[in-house]
Structure 1
Amino acid sequence: MKFMKLGTRPDTFYTEEATRTVSSDVPSDLVIRINNITYLLHKFPLLPKCGLLQRLLTDSGDSDNDSVELHDIPGGEDAFELCAKFCYGITINLSAHNFVRAFCAAKFLRMTESVEKGNFVLKLEAFFNSCILEGWKDSIVALQSTGKMIEWSENLGITRRCIDSIVEKILIPPAKVNWSFTYSRPGYNKKRHQSVPRDWWTEDISDLDIDLFRFIVTALRSTNMVQPQLIGEALHVYACRWLPDTTKIRPPESSASLTNQPVEKNRRVLETIVSMIPADRGSVSVNFLLRLLSTASFLGASPVTKTELIRRCGLQLDEVTVDDLLIPSHLSSDQYCYDIDLISVVLESFLVLWRIQYPAPSQDSQFMRSIRKVGKVIDCYLQVAAKDANMPVMKFISLAEALPDIARPKHDDLYKAINIYLKVKYCLPRVPVFKHSFCSLVLKNHRLLSYSAHFDMAMYITRSILI
């Protein structure tokens, strides 16, 4: 990170209660109040450099001890003190961390060339152009600090210039990237990897607040020079950084800590991320989409956000694995592990979307391959869900029956899931509808069972239900 040092005198500011003053043999003749802090200073170093103070003190008339209130100075007391120390010639160190507040305060105080040559604004602009905007991480740090002075930063062009600098660097071919960046993906070792990864920039911009991150992503997409998959990876990295991970089964005390997180802020981050997902299929993985959908349910996201996520999950469901579907239920009323309702909704969306595209599928169609792949994964998911003794019978049966007949050329996996469920449950409730539903499910599908060891198992299941 680049620094600029101005001034040579030692720091002689000191504090007495809520008063800041300068150690000097010359009595103070200028009182400046900012919020709850009072500054006892001197006119002779400040007035020649601060056009605003000149005007305010001229309007107030001559006085031996003038008083000025600057409660609305951008950056508050810290920013004013940087400007005051510059006037006194006291050493100050400037960097991307404090540049924005110093620049906004200097502009507010009118420390420009028209007031005095070599003034603070000119030096800050030179530092901004030659150092901060030239650096990758400096530009990001400076942009992040604009969030505390949004209006001033936008009006002075700081925000736009930082964004332009960041986007320009992202668009540079990876082979020409010669600055340091953060990249902590598992298995990546900079010493072993000579080439720069295409997504080298995604972790550093994830430090930004969601609005600033959105500005960067929007600017990148407007160039049409960044692949949708890279945009999707940036969204994935940001979500992993800021959103709670609701896809892991936790003990009750850990689930309570999730609830204590700032829900409103997380919901806004989630909905913004979803709104930025490129329309291109495959720009993000179905695993990521399912994670977002789980988080949306947990945070109570808007219906629009949930509907879009369900649609996107359904569109890519043929890419899913069993592990992707093992999403825990976070409802306090649910005693079972996995969110089978969420999977049912996504499966329904998949079937609706593909029936529209393939109203009369042939044996060789893409739909046939996709739906059989989905059928295989759903039946394997049921085998895992069946191990949960608290899984409601009707939810289990409902998901099993949701798949059309063409999704199961063989029913071995389904029967295995039913067998596991019965063994774990060890006895069905004595309610006739449950027995009737299970019996119907088995009898409906037994003809397509392969001639293997599963046939005996199917007969065992049927007898268990009928007894």
Structure 2
Amino acid sequence: MEAYCDLEVDVNGEETFMVDKKIVAQYSGKFTKLFGKSNSTTGKFKVIFHDFPGGAEGFELMLRFCYNNGKPDIGPQNLILAHCAAQFMEMKESVSGGCNLLEQTEKSMREISYWTWSELLIALKQCQNFVLITDSCAVLEKCLDSLVAKLVFSSEVSPCPSSCSPDSSGFRFSCDSKSSESIKTNSSRSTWWFEDLLFLSLMLVEMLVKLMFSRKFDHVVISKFLLFYQKAKFSTSATEEKRKIIEMVIDMHFNMDRSSVSCKTLFGILRVTLGLNINKCSRNKLENMIGLQLDQATLDNLLVPSPYGISYLYDVNLVLRFLKAFLHRGTCLVTPIRIRKVASLVDMYLAEIAPDPSLKPSKFLALATALPDSARDSYDELFHAMDMYLEVHTGLSEEERLKICCGLNYEKLSAEACLHLSQNKNFPSKSTVQALIIQQSKLKNLLLATPSSTSFTDSPCSSSDAGKRGNKDKTSEQVVLYAGNFDTSVDNEKLRAHLQGMQWRVMELEKVCRKMQSQMAKMAKSKASGHSYARSLPKLCS
């Protein structure tokens, strides 16, 4: 029977179809509303669609259903297309009791969980063309959920890669030949599916990962997939697309367990973001994640070049933000061991950036004082970093040098560091005197800790030796007296030489006291065991 075409349909400007209005209207509620119940065949009509889902392909699929007496031909390759077209055209049962296309698509959707792996991939590829259509979301979510369910199951079965082959009876993953070949050559079964999902759009990847989170999928594997996806996509993406991809990767990592994301991984992501100008929210998330694991970082990790327009060689402000995030994790998490590791890392970083002539004193001092005093058992490394900085920045004023030295705890400097400081012209004179005062205080405490002179009856030291020793003690006390009357206007070179001599004598006394304490301990031990101890104590003067 010759077909009668009395309706012209323009679909999205892509293609024009000549159809029988009567045949289509008996299945489509939309056409019924347009033409009413009139069965008139006089004249021809024209309908123009601007937003038909799937365009000409979707309309043609709907027509085949109508001209085939409502017999559906629905599969993974066209389910989403048929579902969206049926929704748009308000498909219904025909007057003769024919099939309802919308009901058929919904029935097929309920069987998605039984589809094979390759069937799910086919459906997802088609879904990407309809992600902006609300009616497609249900199909999309069901496909993704079924996909994740199969991945969860695959992670729980035998580690043999052959279980993922098309012929596997363990679970029906009908992978194509390319995917099967990839599985055979992949060293890790947990990553066999990575290449298969590279076609997913950014939006679908985000939906997939969120479903994985809800299914308690291994976060380590999720992280590997995201980094694999990012690396693969970057080779063909424009700058703006790269920015969106890395922002998605950061946001997804932020929702993972901290233990599943290594510090090395986070710094690798950070390097990728350089020059991409990612949004502030994602940047803050990344910096916060790194800050929480700063004790696991290395010096090379921190040596990030400064952003464009900043004169510093390295991005000091970035490291300061890391430290802020680390300290804000709470006292219960910032253990002494962790904070000492960070302090050691900061000292190495300061030594690395100290020679930078563009580095301002305020930035150097901010880094030096960012951690509490308890973070360092010794300030020697920080002192050497300051020495390097002051040697390069010779134009600093006396006031600026003093501010830099505020970051030092002189009580935690070794005798060698104090000696070096007293001889160092880069440091202000007040710092030199302060170091000597602290060292004298340490010596005084050391002398007080030694046994009294009445315990040294066996010592061969003469009275003249004792007198000399008393003179040395007096001289040590004069360091404090002199420091109190210190005037920077006097001859600094002469004063510095005098202070250096005093420091040497203080160090000699420290050594003698330590030796005396050792000898006395041996004597006490000998007496306790009933043996005599004839060795003499060291003389205080030679």
Please tell me the TM-score bracket, short chain as reference. 0.5 to 0.7
Output the CA distance in 1 between the equivalents of 2:178 and 2:13: 43
Deviation at 1:284, TM superposition (A): 1.7
**Matching residue within 319, 327, 343 for 2:319:** 343
What SS does the corresponding residue of 1:41 show, helix, strand or coil? strand
Partner in structure 2 of residue 448 of structure 1: 413
Partner in structure 2 of residue 277 of structure 1: 255
Partner in structure 1 of residue 341 of structure 2: 373
Deviation at 1:162, TM superposition (A): 0.6
The answer as to 2:464 corresponding to 1:464 is no
Q: 1:200 to 1:347 in 2, by over 3 A?
A: farther
Output the CA distance in 1 between the equivalents of 2:177 and 2:348: 39
Deviation at 1:223, TM superposition (A): 3.0
**Matching residue within 418, 424, 431 for 2:397:** 431
The code of the aligned residue for 1:177 comes to C
What SS does the corresponding residue of 2:260 show, helix, strand or coil? coil
Output the CA distance in 2 between the equivalents of 1:47 and 1:232: 50
**Matching residue within 141, 162, 168 for 2:125:** 141
Partner in structure 2 of residue 221 of structure 1: 213
Q: 1:100 to 1:59 in 2, by over 3 A?
A: same
Deviation at 1:148, TM superposition (A): 3.4
Deviation at 1:396, TM superposition (A): 1.8
Please identify, of 379-388 and 335-344, the stretch whose mean Cα deviation from structure 2 is larger.
379-388
Bigger radius of gyration: 2
What SS does the corresponding residue of 1:406 show, helix, strand or coil? helix
**Matching residue within 75, 81, 91 for 1:101:** 81
The answer as to 2:135 corresponding to 1:152 is yes
Partner in structure 1 of residue 41 of structure 2: 62
The answer as to 2:355 corresponding to 1:390 is no
Q: 1:380 to 1:416 in 2, by over 3 A?
A: same
Output the CA distance in 1 between the equivalents of 2:77 and 2:306: 42
**Matching residue within 285, 300, 306 for 1:323:** 300
The answer as to 2:24 corresponding to 1:47 is yes
Q: 1:355 to 1:382 in 2, by over 3 A?
A: same
Percent identity between matched residues is 26
The code of the aligned residue for 1:76 comes to G
Structure with the higher helix share, 1 or 2: 2
1:277–1:283 CA contact under 8 A, matched in 2: no
What SS does the corresponding residue of 1:161 show, helix, strand or coil? helix
1:113–1:122 CA contact under 8 A, matched in 2: no
Q: How does 1:2-401 map to 2 (within 5 A)?
A: 29-37=6-14, 39-43=16-20, 47=24, 50-52=27-29, 55=32, 56-57=34-35, 59=37, 61-84=40-63, 100-109=80-89, 114=94, 116=98, 129=112, 135=119, 137-149=121-133, 151-154=134-137, 157-174=138-155, 175=159, 176-178=163-165, 195-196=188-189, 198-201=190-193, 205=197, 207-224=199-216, 226-234=217-225, 236-237=227-228, 261=240, 265=244, 269=248, 272-273=251-252, 277-278=255-256, 280-289=257-266, 298-302=277-281, 311-330=288-307, 332-356=308-332, 367-401=335-369
What SS does the corresponding residue of 1:402 show, helix, strand or coil? coil
1:28–1:42 CA contact under 8 A, matched in 2: yes
Tell me the alpha carbon deviations over residues 378-400 of structure 1, each in whole angstroms, 9 at most, x when there is no partner. Answer: 22222333354433232122102
* TM-score normalised per structure 1: 0.66
Q: 1:122 to 1:338 in 2, by over 3 A?
A: same
The code of the aligned residue for 1:68 comes to V
Deviation at 1:161, TM superposition (A): 1.5
Q: 1:316 to 1:158 in 2, by over 3 A?
A: same
What SS does the corresponding residue of 2:8 show, helix, strand or coil? strand
Deviation at 1:457, TM superposition (A): 6.9
Alignment RMSD, CA only? 4.8
* TM-score normalised per structure 2: 0.58
Deviation at 1:171, TM superposition (A): 0.4
Output the CA distance in 2 between the equivalents of 1:413 and 1:144: 57
More RCO (CA 8 Å, sep 6+): 1
Q: 1:88 to 1:449 in 2, by over 3 A?
A: farther
The code of the aligned residue for 1:448 comes to L
Runs of at least 5 residues in structure 1 that lack an aligned partner in the other structure = 1-24, 245-256, 359-366
